[in-house]
Amino acid sequence: MTYPAITQGQLWKAVSPVGAEEATVVILEALPGMLGRRRLLAARVRPDREVPSAMKLLTVPLDEGLVIAAYDIAAFDKGWLKEPSGQLTTAQLDRLKVALRARFDL
């Protein structure tokens, strides 16, 4: 199966080869220079109920009680991305950028 090109704001199902841990992630950086590497920066999608109250300001709401955790960013190997599962709206991507600026105090 052919998947779309990796772009900022895409949601992907990722599976780590260590323990076969599965996660949904949002691609944060998808510049050509980053795409040439094996690893991409992504934020995890978490159930809102699991987010510590001190971190609520660093989240972006999605559907069905899920949030993008801008405080939980990691480098994911492109080989771990198994299946696209959506795209952020323009409003959600704008909110994510605000949360990232707050996270990194920009």
Q: What is the pLDDT of residues 48-72, one digit of tens each?
A: 999 999 999 999 999 889 999 999 9
pTM (predicted TM-score)? 0.85
CATH fold, domain 10-103, is: SH3 type barrels. (2.30.30)
Q: pLDDT (tens digit, 9 = 90+) per residue, 18-45?
A: 877 899 999 998 655 555 667 888 999 9
CB 12 within 8 A of CB 83: yes
CB 59 within 8 A of CB 70: yes
The rounded distance, in Å, linking the Cα atoms of 26 and 69 is: 9
